[in-house]
Amino acid sequence: MVGTPYPKKPMHRIAYAQLTKEQIAAKLHPVAERGPTSASTFATDFAGESLRIVTDDGPELTYKFASSTRLSVAENGGKATHAGFGALETDNICLFSHMIPGTQRGYTVVVDRRSKLATVIEVWFSGYEDNREVQRQIYFGHVDSGGDVPKKRHDYTDRLEGRGYHWRQDTGMETLEYYPSAGYSHFVELSRTGGELGFSAPSDYVLLDNDFCLYTRTECEFSGTFTAYVIDMNRTQQMGVRLGFDDGDDLHYYLFRGHGDIVGQIAHFEKFGDDSGNPIPGPNGKDGKPVKGGRRVYRPIKTMEKLSREQVAQIVKQHSTAFPPSTTTGGAAGMGSVNALPASDFLAGKAFTLRYDHGPAMEYKVDSADELNWRTDGEGAWTKARYQAYEVAPGLLLFGHLLEGAPNHDGHIIAADFHQGLVTCYNGFLNTSYFANEAGARTLFGVLEMDGIQPPMYRRHARTTEMLGRCITYSYAPGLTSMHLYSTPNTVSWIIFTPDGHGGMEWSGPGDFVKIRDGIYFMNWREEACNGTLGTVLLNLNIMHDAGIGYHCGARGGLNMSRIGAVVRHAGKFEVDRYFQIRT
């Protein structure tokens, strides 16, 4: 029987084993002796060659290549060590990689034979509290062949920022890779995981020359696997290395070639002329110098507050808040609401029913601009609730309220179209499988029944892929802008910017996308294993503004429903629809 392409658990749900140094050493030793494997043929013209590489603030490496798979390396004039290696070449660029037997370190070296410039990536295990996470340090330098020392160097760049590729490796691995940041990247494994979700990872981008770039990523917070490859930007080809332990703790160390397609190029937001890279440099040590291998990594799985069902129940009982009063009067409850649309009194005085297919019939009697009464399925007593509504387009309202007394502390966030009699609800709830304070969401479609409104019988709002591949910037307040990348039909990724406009840190979660009207989309994202928030936006591309509501539970703020909103820009669209078609 042919299996489905989907994994049992997405990456952010896998409890990767905490490997000990000894476990890593045991698995690494034979691999370091042997060198990387490759489905493509290794370059053979290294055999018999010698190479001395001098880096600016790093090691001097003296290589002797005995064959196309064996070398010796001396670091800083020290004793030579023999190791297995592999090399790949494209035009004047060659990449070779080896570990150093007896250690948990190794090097991947990229040399430009024409310019004599070199970039050296030192990699090692057991350098972080999670030993399996590969650490890296990049050094720039040159090949010392006895002549003049070249003045130029390879350097970090933002020139790849905004690019997206579809890659197909010689291993059969097929990915979509987005570079919406100059310090992070986002990847979708189409072949290995069915492309359901995309994930984000810290990355380096190095400009080798106008034709070639070097890219790296480390799958921090996940398996810790390191990938680096040279991109031939004209031919849309890649050659690189992958090193790390998979979810079964098997060690992978191989070189690969791949070919691909450019799936798009979105805008980026540095000042014209600013091609600088490495926008979020690592921390400095006590001596004021950068820490070797140091990098700033967003680690939400590690830092997320994790609560039990009992703790959540207690917190909700003690502190549940929907739309603090200041937001109703237009004040700023938080940075996320400075640019929000004003609250609307459109619903005040109205009585209506939202009848969801395969869901409840929610009856409403709205007292005022911030207070409503609800009951379910025409039964029981009315419950008073605080709410807030925003008229995103004429007759189209986003509103939300908590459902006090619901066993899973539900909240309803609703896009209600009073011109069409249609409604979609993101029903947020807690007590989910992994962490009780992590929000889940059901998507409910239905109709709006009210005196004077005849809803349709068959028509409904519907899920859409029209947002797939789009990048939208959301400016919530001065200095607080993020960009959404809708990387798969089920993923929302978000990127924040540095003060000078570089794309910075990035993370992602599962999402949902519903078309409400032409140019108006109701979307959600769940910050799974990352704060646990359910974020929703009703985005109106006709006015380039959204209204949004967040639903979150935490020990400090309790159960909370709050307003978010932003002025938006369309940064561009990656054409990736064809990679998500299900074909027979």
Q: Which residues in this chain contact another protein in the complex, by CB under 8 A?
A: 183, 280, 283, 296-300, 303, 334-336, 476-480, 482, 494, 496, 498-499, 504-505, 507, 527, 530-531, 533, 550, 557
Among residues 25 and 496, whose Cβ is nearest to another protein?
496
Q: Return the SS3 of 250.
A: coil
Min dist CB 530 to another protein, Å, is 7
Closer residue to another protein (CB): 108 or 531: 531
Contacts 24+ apart (CB under 8 A), 479-483: 480/335, 480/336, 480/338, 481/566, 483/180, 483/571
3-class DSSP assignment, residue 273: coil
CB of 150 to another protein, least distance (A): 32
Query: Whole-angstrom Cα distance, residue 259 to residue 261?
Result: 7
Query: Least distance in Å: CB of 325 to another protein?
Result: 17
Nearest distance from C-beta of residue 15 to another protein, angstroms: 22
Cα distances (Å, whole numbers) of residue 163 to 45, 298, 468: 33, 22, 15
Identity of the residue, 283 or 380, whose beta carbon is nearer to another protein in the bound complex: 283
For residue 558, the one-letter residue type is G
Sign for the pseudo-dihedral over CA of 63, 225, 189, 180: negative
User: What are the Cα distances from residue 101, in Å, to 226, 419, 452, 510?
Assistant: 19, 71, 79, 41
> Measured from the CB atom, is 239 or 472 closer to another protein?
472
Taking a C-beta distance cutoff of 8 angstroms, is the pair 20, 28 a contact?
Answer: no
Query: Judged by CB, which is closer to another protein: 167, or 494?
Result: 494
Query: How near is the Cβ of 537 to another protein at its closest, in Å?
Result: 13
What minimum distance in Å lies between the beta carbon of 335 and another protein? Answer: 6
Q: Which is nearer to another protein, 304 or 362 (CB)?
A: 304
Q: CB–CB of 192/208 below 8 Å?
A: no
Distance of CA 223 to the CA centre of its chain: 15
Q: Give min distance, CB of 498 to another protein, in A.
A: 6
What 3-state DSSP class applies to 360?
coil
For residue 22, the one-letter residue type is: E
Nearer to another protein, 372 or 492 (CB): 492
Which CB atom, from 263 or from 529, has the smaller least distance to another protein?
Answer: 529
Contact 477, 387 (CB under 8 A): no
User: C-beta of 491: minimal distance to another protein in Å?
Assistant: 15
Cα-based distances in Å from 41 to 86, 89, 237, 257, 389: 9, 10, 15, 9, 62
What single-letter amino acid sits at 317? K
346 in Cβ contact with 331 (< 8 Å): no
Say if CB 568 and CB 555 are below 8 A apart. no
Reading the block at residue 538, the tokens are 């009703």
Q: Which is nearer to another protein, 102 or 557 (CB)?
A: 557
- Minimum gap (Å) between residue 221 Cβ and another protein: 12
Query: Of 117 and 333, which has the nearer Cβ to another protein?
Result: 333
> Cβ distance 305 to 437 under 8 Å?
yes
Return contacts of 226-232, CB within 8 angstroms, 24+ apart: 226/123, 226/134, 226/136, 228/108, 228/121, 228/136, 229/95, 229/256, 229/258, 230/90, 230/93, 230/95, 230/110, 231/160, 231/165, 232/90, 232/91, 232/93
Judged by CB, which is closer to another protein: 199, or 507? 507
Closest contact distance (angstroms) between CB of 503 and another protein is 11
State the Cα–Cα distance between residues 157 and 208, nearest whole angstrom. Answer: 9
- Among residues 50 and 303, whose Cβ is nearest to another protein? 303
Q: Which is nearer to another protein, 135 or 424 (CB)?
A: 135
In the complex, minimum distance from the CB of residue 338 to another protein, in angstroms, rounded to a whole number: 11
Residue number with CB closer to another protein (335 or 462): 335
- CB of 502: closest distance to another protein in angstroms? 10
366 alpha carbon, distance to own chain's centre: 39
Residue 328 CB contacts under 8 Å (≥ 6 apart), including other chains: 343, 369, 370, 388
**Pairwise CA distance, residues 27 & 249, whole Å:** 9
Least distance CB 482 / another protein (angstroms) = 5
Task: Give min distance, CB of 222 to another protein, in A.
Answer: 17
- Residues whose CB is less than 8 angstroms from the CB of residue 310 and which lie 6 or more positions away in sequence, other chains included: none
